[in-house]
A and B are shown apart, each in its own frame.
Chain A
Amino acid sequence: MSLKIKKGIPLIDQHDKNGMWGGKFGGNFVPETLKKPIEDLEKLFSKLRKDQSFIKERDYYFENYVGTPTPLIKLDNLTDHLGGAQLWAKVVSENPGTAHKVYACIVHCLIAKRAGKRYVCTDTGAGMQGKNLAMVAKKFGLRAKIFMGVRDLVRQKKNVDVMKKYGAEVVPVTSGSQTLVDAVSESMRYWVANCQDVHMVIGSTVGPSIFVKISGYSTSQISRELKVQLIEEFGEIPNKLKLLNCVGGGSSAYGFWSEFIDYDKKHVSLIGVEAGGSKKSKLHAAPLSNNSKLGVLHGAKAYCIQNNDGQIGETESLSSGLDYPSVSPLHCFLKDTGRAEYTSATDEEALNAYKLVSKLENISPSLEPSHAFATAISLAPKLSKDTILCIDSCGHSLKDSDIIKEKLGFYTE
């Protein structure tokens, strides 16, 4: 059976009754204890999506708290420097949470409030998810518990300080590789034990299908804005448009693309950039561009870095936010249908991209979107001047200042 995307229906809703996309990706592979809380959340979310007062509230916070729309800017200097396609950036990081995570955190906290839950918990890799949930939870009067691998606690300390400032409890995760994958596991374990009082938030479009949906529903705000901005700028959706986004779990990429999936791929092409890891290492965090096998992790079936036995494989990336062995079922579906293409950039390429972009332009992408910039930089010179390369600058580099200083010898905001 060949997989096909339906037109006119958001991709997040194109799953079957088992929560699987194309009958192949996603699902709800969870311990029995979580079936009921997940079912409750599914029911509540499907009700709230049709509830005008909920949508109004969501939009209120998107407008007045996040500050929509985030800017779409032309990168003139970078374009001149590379000599080829025009480079544009949607600076999603221009919001109080400095990352796209803010959207899903707001939606989740609104849901938690309506569900009568007083506590929220989440996983975080780069600390962006943790920081945003801590910030939003405080605003909504909810108590937040953030699970974070010890390795990430060290390398993303700046964000940890912010989480604590907002009054969140940061729980160090010492199991396994002590990175994002273990943080997600630990957050899920905490939810298993406390599902009656706690609303779990997953930091990306991964996990049991309802979490994929809520995350994608929230980040879609990015492409709704982008569509309007492109039409304002060009009078139409440009003829040769390429949307580049980094992909870890894949929530920012889905949000950046969702409004454009129905366009012909020759018109709007979607390019996902995974974390290729260090040039010197065989390890990476790029299951899609390395043709990893289908596996089950954190409740969902998706392409996943693993060994023959099914043990989840070790990953490596300088960017904590992309350092995850699996990927959203939505991206697996987009890959297999041929709608999006996926490639990877190495740590070194991402660092160089950061260096060039922050030198030439007045933006400062974190290491995660720097992967997408790296691919854009290598593509641009080969493309015509009427091609528009638009990159989602979904996170600000401040959290990476220590790593950047260590690797490049300097850091300027």
Chain B
Amino acid sequence: MKSEIQLTFENCKRENRPALLTYTVASDPNKKKSLQIINSIARYADIIELGFPHSTPVGDGGQIQTSSNRAIKNGFKMRDSFQIANKFKKNYKNKPVILMGYYNMIYQYGENRFLKDCKKSGVSGIICVDLPWPENKDFAKKCKKKSINFIQLLAPTTTKDRMKKIIKDSHDMVYYISMLSTTGGKLKVSPRKILENYKKIKRMNSKKNLVIGFGITEKTIKSLKSADGLVVGSLLCKTITNSLKMRQNPVTKLDKVVYNLKKKII
């Protein structure tokens, strides 16, 4: 049986557009609002990435750090990510939710218990920032057994040989990090160059759905629209931060931002 993630990409392909993936942090700015946010932006987003915030996110820049700290300060607990996902799935039965975060959180929760709760709450995939290949081999296998997508990451520094091995062990979706940067960095590589790398990876296995993330904003998204999918994260976290500063409702603000992003790629 095809996974929800696979079906989503196929659907987008039929519509001749990339999938739009949004990343927001669970419980940012609080549990209730973060659910409202994803409920609202899911009208435009194809796949919802929900971050479980960590206190020491070494791969993330300032925007996601701020969101993560806010969520933790507001009492985030690991079980909240499952509850948020579960409630979301009641409204959007077929829209995939991907949980994303750092390995220590999964490790402390217990890998098996984590996967069991993913399954129960309708989570379709997992991205673990600091569990690279081959360290992730065992966990990725466990995910596959549970029909949960373990999403492998590729970076501009990943060698061709290594890419081949990683792609071989990947499931339906692979995530290409556009540039050498933490999340939220300014796009310092030309979209043309990014797409060149993207195509090289696609040539290794055209069946894998390859998404591009890092540095994607309202300004850059259009130039990358030939990809299978595009991930926007830091921009959304920043929007939440700014709307809180301005005492505006982050839900309506984010709704507008994601609507505009979507408009640029259809």
Write the residues of chain A forming the contact surface with B, with a CB cutoff of 8 angstroms: 18, 27-37, 175-176, 181-182, 185, 188-189, 192-196, 293, 295-299, 304, 306, 308-312
Contacts and interface: CB of A to CB of B under 8 A. Distances in A.
17 contacts: A28-B132, A30-B132, A31-B58, A31-B59, A32-B154, A32-B155, A32-B157, A33-B59, A34-B157, A35-B158, A176-B69, A188-B58, A189-B58, A293-B108, A296-B102, A299-B130, A309-B105
Contact of B58 (A18, A37, A298): A298
B107 A33 contact: no
Contacts of B162: 35-36
B59 A311 contact: no
Contacts of A30: 58, 130, 132
B195 to A, nearest CB: 19
Interface in B142-187: 153-159, 162, 177, 180-182, 185
A296 B107 contact: yes
Interface centre among A18, A33, A182 (most CB of B within 10 A): A33
B59 A192 contact: yes
B160 to A, nearest CB: 11
A196 B58 contact: no
Interface in B211-251: none
Given A192-B180, A192-B181, A293-B108, A29 B78 contact: no
B107 A311 contact: no
Interface residues on B, range: 35 or more
Interface centre among B59, B102, B134 (most CB of A within 10 A): B59
B129 A31 contact: yes
B156 to A, nearest CB: 7
Contacts of A176: 55-56, 69
Contact of A298 (B56, B133, B185): B56
Contacts of B31: none
Given A29-B130, A195-B157, 14 more contacts: A31-B58, A31-B129, A33-B180, A36-B159, A36-B162, A185-B58, A192-B58, A192-B59, A193-B180, A306-B108, A309-B109, A310-B78, A310-B104, A311-B72
B182 A193 contact: yes
Nearest to A34: B157
Contacts of A293: 108
B166 to A, nearest CB: 8
A31 B57 CA distance: 10
A189 B64 CA distance: 13
B155 to A, nearest CB: 4
A18 B133 CA distance: 11
A34 to B, nearest CB: 8
Contact of A185 (B56, B77, B156): B56
B58 A296 contact: no
B158 A29 contact: no
B186 to A, nearest CB: 11
Contacts of B77: 309
B131 A33 contact: no
Nearest to A27: B135
